[in-house]
Amino acid sequence: MCSILGIFGLQPGDDLADLRRQALELSRRQRHRGPDWSGVHADEGAILVHERLAIVDPAGGAQPLVSADGNLVLAVNGEIYNHRELRATAPDGWEFRTASDCEVINALHARGGDPGDWLRRLNGIFAFALWDRAARRWLVARDPVGVVPLYWGRDGSGRMCVASEMKALVGICHDVAQFPPGHYYDSDGDRLVRYWERPWREHGATASVQVTPGELREAFEAAVHRQLMSDVPYGVLLSGGLDSSLVAACAARFARRRIEEDDRAEAWWPRLHSFAIGLEGSPDLAAAQVAADALGTVHHGFTYTLQEGLDALPEVIRHIESYDVTTVRASIPMYLLARRIRAMGVKMVLSGEGSDEIFGGYLYFHKAPDARQFHDELVRKLDALHQYDCLRANKSMMAWGVEARVPFLDLEFLEVAMRMDASAKMVRPRPPLPGDRGRVEGCSRPIEKAILREAFDGYLPDSILWRQKEQFSDGVGYGWIDGLKAHAESQVGGREFAFAASRFPVNPPMTKEAYLYRHIFERHFPGESCARTVPGGKSIACSSPAAIAWDAAFEAAADPSGRAVAGVHVAS
């Protein structure tokens, strides 16, 4: 994964040399995403700059990728997992110039036709800008879920600018906004088009559709297998929760063979490394060690102190470009972990984001009254994921040049998991387990994501497979959130907080902790347009009308921690 920056719509009177210098300076602001190499293309119609993090074809594959005839210029941030199959569909006589997985985008565009038709064929995570010199046309697109970030706006002269991170456009574009996931912009007709729309978004299309545990397991194993595509050392994030542990368990099954050669050769780095972080004595560190011991990974559990986390807070907000409370809380330990991972020479990790949005893993889903409302809330959360967990995982890791891949959001797996009748995903009592003997609650306690747990029976110790959902910002240590709140209380005065709504009219903060994050955010990203790129609301759960309808207590809850879901959370 990398960073891209594009300036389009140049006019004959523009000073190309000056604009090129400006583009390079703007791209430098996001060079942490691509520390391996910088590439630039500038002509009379467009400027494209690329900062590269080399994962596939590190010796070649430098960007921007230019077609053999020089007409197509492409800058991509992402990975195309099915690129080898798509290469076979290139136009007759097409010449691939690199082994890059992303070069297939140029070939698909060269075939012509509606861009949406070939965009829907890509299974990957991506944001790209493509300049067609012969047609004087540019195309910008983002992956369906929004795993990869992308921002856009117009500069003072009306030129269109796009960048992987908002910081590259601050001061240049006064209308900066997130580019919507699952869309493409085509300068031919000045059109923003939604290209990705699935039948399963409507509950009626999923009613009575059965997916067996075996089908679910095989689809997820295939997703992990695809996403192990790498020519550099990689690892897995392992918090000891269900999702990251399943990713690690599946990766461990494939780690010894080289995916790029159809498993015919031994992997270049056959030992799977796993990584966890937490405060001393945190629930996640203990659970991660149990999972790692069972899977046989080379495990690295790191600790950090409250003060180290507080020291990193301003820099983390600058990197993640958000003031959302849950996102900031979870991003800090992830940011600190990324630095440790990169120091060990690892450039790519698999992570467990997306599972809770697909299977209803958040604890407030215990309150869902029926399958239709359960399903509708899943779709809402998937639509918002690019503003929360995808943003956190991508930007926290890429702050140190580590790419995070998310197998649960693999498009082929998503198709299998989301077409399932939501009644099979709803919370239900877990089965009796050997460890229940003598325990008061026995097997009566309801558990979220039971269908996913059942699909992987035997893959993990029961204590991990049936562990209750623990939000990352809780699991790193319950003292973490309490420490952040205390710090905010000491930094934000009562009189200052009383004027929060007038100081911040866009999404006014409702707690002192939220006020502190917003204050730091404004220093780096001033103006209402920047503020509007962050979703409003008190938390993911509390801002949902559906969740409030399920339980009126959510409306009064200002704290988004999973521990705040009364009557559901059981402390580890």
Positions marked catalytic: 2
Q: What is the CA 271 to chain-centroid distance, rounded?
A: 25
101 is in an annotated binding site: yes
* 277 marked as part of a ligand binding site: yes
Q: What is the DSSP letter of 251?
A: H
Spatial separation of the C-alpha atoms in residues 543 and 325, rounded to whole Å: 13
Q: What 3-state DSSP class applies to 487?
A: helix
Question: How far separated are the first and last CA of the chain, in Å rounded?
Answer: 35
String of DSSP letters for 90-146:
SPTT----S--GGGHHHHHHHT-S-HHHHHTT--EEEEEEEEETTTTEEEEEE-SS-
Q: Encoding tokens for residue 428?
A: 């239900």
* Placement of tokens 């050669």 in the chain: 261
**3 state DSSP class of 306:** helix
Per-residue tokens: 16? 């190309």
Q: How far apart are CA 378 and CA 150, in angstroms?
A: 23
Residue 261's identity, in one-letter code, is E
Query: Which residue, among 523, 482, 484, has the nearest Cα to 310 in the 3D structure?
Result: 484
Contact present, 358 and 420 (Cβ < 8 Å): no
501: exposed, middle or buried (Cβ count in 10 Å: 0-12, 13-18, 19+): exposed
Going from the C-alpha of 223 to that of each of 25, 236, 295, 411, 451, the distances in angstroms are: 38, 14, 19, 9, 18
Find, among 240, 244, 312, the residue nearest to 283 by Cα: 240
Long-range contacts of 177-180 (CB under 8 A, 24+ apart): 177/151, 177/152, 177/153, 177/529, 177/532, 177/533, 178/149, 178/150, 178/151, 178/386, 178/387, 178/533, 179/127, 179/140, 179/142, 179/150, 179/151, 179/152, 180/142, 180/146
Gap between the Cα atoms of 464 and 259, Å rounded: 28
Q: Is 231 annotated as a binding residue?
A: no
Do the annotations mark residue 175 as ligand-binding? no
Q: Tell me whether residue 494 is annotated as binding.
A: no
Q: Can you say which residues are annotated as belonging to the binding site?
A: 101, 237, 277, 351-352
Q: Can you say which residues are annotated as belonging to the binding site for L-glutamine?
A: 101
